[in-house]
A and B are shown apart, each in its own frame.
Chain A
Amino acid sequence: MADTTADRDMAAETAMPGPPDPPERPQVARLTPMEWVRENLFSTWYDTLMTVVFGAGLVFAIYRGLRFLFVTGRWEIIDRNMTNLMVWLWPNRPDLLRPWVALFLMVAAVGLLAGRAVRVAATVAEEAGEPIEELSWRENALRVLGRFWPFVMLLVFIGWYSGSPETWLMELLVVVDLLAFRALALRLPKAVADRTGLIAGLLFLAAFGTLTWFGGHGWDDWGGLMLTIFLAAGGIILSFPLGVGLALGRRSSFPIVRTICVTYIELIRGVPLITLLFMASIMLGFFLPSDFNSPAGVTRALVAIILFTAAYVAEIVRGGLQSVPQGQIEAAQAVGLSPLKQTRLIVLPQALRNVIPALVGQFISLLKDTSLVAIIGQFEILGVARRITNQGDFAGQGLLAETLFFAALVYWVLAYTMSRESQRLEKRLGVGER
């Protein structure tokens, strides 16, 4: 009885006449430019000191950078070697039809996936009851530019310094290809759209096939940026099954299996990738029977990368496995699923969805690590950047800064955009919040 009266008193106290006033927003002080500068740059004596020192350093760095870009840099080497940097000695030079078709197929797949992501994000926002912003095309364009300015910058850089109209045309076609397939993904019927991932995968496979099948050339003949991307993508995809196996093994209740998996993972994670690459490039022949036809350079590098990445993927997947609540496993046991089915149908799908951001991070770090195959004599983009400074026309002129700048720019654009986009997608799709 006493409880209910107390409740009623509370209710009477908290009840308010009419709807509450919307909370007033705090007044943001309007600063004049002078005040802003004083507040943000010169508020105390050490603030002033830092501004002066930091500003001087920054101005110097930017001045040197711009001077290098527009005055002292000799970019002819990039222009003349653009094909080398992209595909190195593609065997059928000058016929580059296959790499171009492969590029267009891959860009189409990326476009489809981008459109799909937009659609899913819209659905998620709708379910959450968030209003969908209507933007004018100008706002839209600005926003896209804000997200993809690194790519635009790279395209402009390539187009500008190659100085040929065909380059601009091809770049335009790539962009059109991307936008067309993104638009297509937005308009596909739902049944097809739900299989976008599969279609994109098939497109990637088709790109691979265009390069290798029907008289094409295997990856041992590849080089340049093409090889960089292949090593990173191939490395992460092919190491995935081994990584999942190792993660399951590490969590297994079989002590022997667990010991072997833990040993493998910790051993690999304790040594640098370069030792594995050396092992593959010098020693693979020692480990195989002498009459065995041992594979060529790129395959060896790929094997080392897979063995290396698998250990890291295993640790990521283990984190995902640990994030699946015990109740899920118990529920699966309760409905009588076999251990294999429990893992395959209940545990793994939830675990893998949780680790997508971490896997993207691993992919980015692998993309940077592929530069190491340059040390064992493979010509991915860094290897090409180092090699072309020895060409007859350019040897001994100290052009390494220019070629390194270009390679670094490509790495930077790819890694920066991917990390930004994955963060954005993670936030919008609410991965890890479900």
Chain B
Amino acid sequence: MAASTTAGGPRPPLWRDVRVLRVVGQIAFAILTVAFLWWIWGNLTDNLQSRNLPTGFDYLSQPGGFIVQYSDVTSSTPIWKVILTGVKNTLLVSAVGIVLATVIGVLIGIGRLSNNWLVRKGSALYVEAVRNIPVLVWIIFFFSALLLPVLPVVEESVTGDLFVANNRAISVAGPTTPSGGAGTLWLLGLVAVLAGIAVAWWRTRRNVRTGQPHHRVIWGLLTAIVVFAIGFVVAGVDVGLDRPAREGFAVTGGFALSTPYLGVLIGLVVYTASHIAEIVRGSILAVPKGQQEAAQALALSGFQRMRYVILPQALRIMVPPTANQYLNLTKNSSLAIAVGYADVMQVVKTVIGNGRPAPQNIAIAMAVYLAFSLTISFFTNLYNRRIQYVGRS
């Protein structure tokens, strides 16, 4: 009996053989997981059927039965289109929020290391005051306690030449849709951007070959603007300025930034900027001090030291945690639900409130956020790899 388990002897009995146990253990774990999911799935379909709710996704093509403000959603729009509007709104608030939070966060992060006493202390005050308060409190504060009471009601809108502001929305003037549809304009914009990128790329190549300064940003921007202007004149696009105007309780024309949108946006930006500022500060401090001193020895100005020596190195440390903050901002945009901004979560909640099945709807919302998360991780990983590679070569 003992001999059978000694080394070199015949294989141990099945219930003590590690190789067997590994396989059996894993299979058991998998079976347990599957059984659990199966049980939940069974309950789910049973419950849906007993409440006369559909188990599939066919309901998505039925009309939603409610309107979404500041969009083209009417009560006869199919549900999938309504949800798509919500996705668009989530994208709108997240994308603008990410850009603004990055700009403000970087400025404040650098401000915390400024030589100016007031700027240094003021930035520290901002960071410490903001990041320890939940983002939801900020969103509710900016919308319900600041924008709503401060801005006037529609009848008493503050009206300027290019804007109309009330506590429903701040409408600003924007370009009108040209008679041939917006297609030409978009096409023109795309061509201009491509031309700008091409020129910037050419300037970079030239810089690499000859060593002459590239000024690629200026060149690229100028090219894009010139191409756009030429195309604009040549194609004869009849675009005008669409000024917002108020008639009674309605504001027509212009581009409306609804107050819920502004509340969510400002809340997210203020909160996330404080976190990004901390990341920026930490990353700059992590750059060896000798770099700063060497740059000083070369008589670079404060701006040049930052731009050409410190920030490129800090960037490498900064990217992964900042990407994490971008993810957080996108996920936190779901708190729009607290102030009624029609993001995907709010739309899904309304759809559920109208008697549509909750499980499918929540699953859709989760899938949307997962897709956003994965997309952001993908692009930031790509960027991260790029700057790491450039740095090491």
Contacts and interface: CB of A to CB of B under 8 A. Distances in A.
Interface stretch (B129-137, B180-188, B208-216, B235-243): B129-137
Contact of B116 (A50, A58, A286, A419): A50
A411 interface: yes
B77 to A, nearest CB: 23
A154 interface: no
Contacts of B366: 271, 275
B30 interface: yes
A87 to B, nearest CB: 20
Nearest to B132: A415
Nearest to B330: A272
B50 interface: yes
Interface residues of B, number: 54
A412 B138 CA distance: 12
A173 interface: no
A47 interface: yes
B136 A372 contact: yes
Main secondary structure of the interface of B (DSSP, over half): helix
A275 B373 contact: no
Contact of A286 (B136, B137, B358): B358
Interface in A253-300: 254-257, 260, 267, 269-275, 278-279, 282-283, 285-290
A412 B271 CA distance: 13
Given A260-B33, A286-B43, A286-B48, A412 B132 contact: yes
B219 interface: no
Main secondary structure of the interface of A (DSSP, over half): helix
Interface string B161-200: 0000000000000000000000000000000000000000
Contact of B115 (A43, A282, A374, A416): A43
A390 interface: no
A407 B362 CA distance: 30
A279 B345 CA distance: 12
A59 to B, nearest CB: 10
B122 A58 contact: yes
A47 B115 contact: yes
B90 to A, nearest CB: 10
A382 B136 contact: yes
Contact of A412 (B129, B135, B337, B362): B129
A79 interface: no
Contacts of A50: 114, 116, 118-119
Contacts of A271: 331, 366, 369-370, 373
A54 interface: yes
Given A50-B119, A282-B358, A368-B134, A416 B44 contact: no
Interface size class of A (residues with CB under 8 A): 35 or more
B26 A257 contact: yes
Contact of B373 (A270, A288, A368, A401): A270
B72 interface: no
Contacts of B40: 287
B300 to A, nearest CB: 15
Contacts of B145: 398, 400-401, 404
B137 A382 contact: yes
Nearest to B22: A254
A256 B30 contact: yes
B141 A51 contact: no
Contacts of B137: 371, 382, 404, 407-408, 411
A386 interface: yes
B29 A254 contact: yes
Nearest to B344: A275
B40 to A, nearest CB: 5
A289 B132 CA distance: 41
A216 interface: no
B116 to A, nearest CB: 5
Nearest to B41: A287
Given A51-B116, A408-B133, 11 more contacts: A40-B117, A58-B125, A254-B25, A270-B369, A272-B345, A274-B334, A275-B362, A290-B50, A372-B335, A375-B338, A419-B132
6 A-B pairs with the lowest CB-CB distances in the bound complex, closest first: A272-B331, A415-B132, A40-B117, A368-B134, A270-B373, A401-B145
Interface of B: 22, 25-27, 29-30, 33, 40, 43-44, 46-48, 50, 114-119, 122, 125, 128-129, 132-137, 140-141, 144-146, 149, 331-332, 334-335, 337-338, 345, 349, 352, 358-359, 362, 365-366, 369-370, 373-374
9 contacts: A289-B46, A290-B50, A368-B133, A371-B136, A375-B338, A401-B145, A401-B146, A404-B145, A407-B137
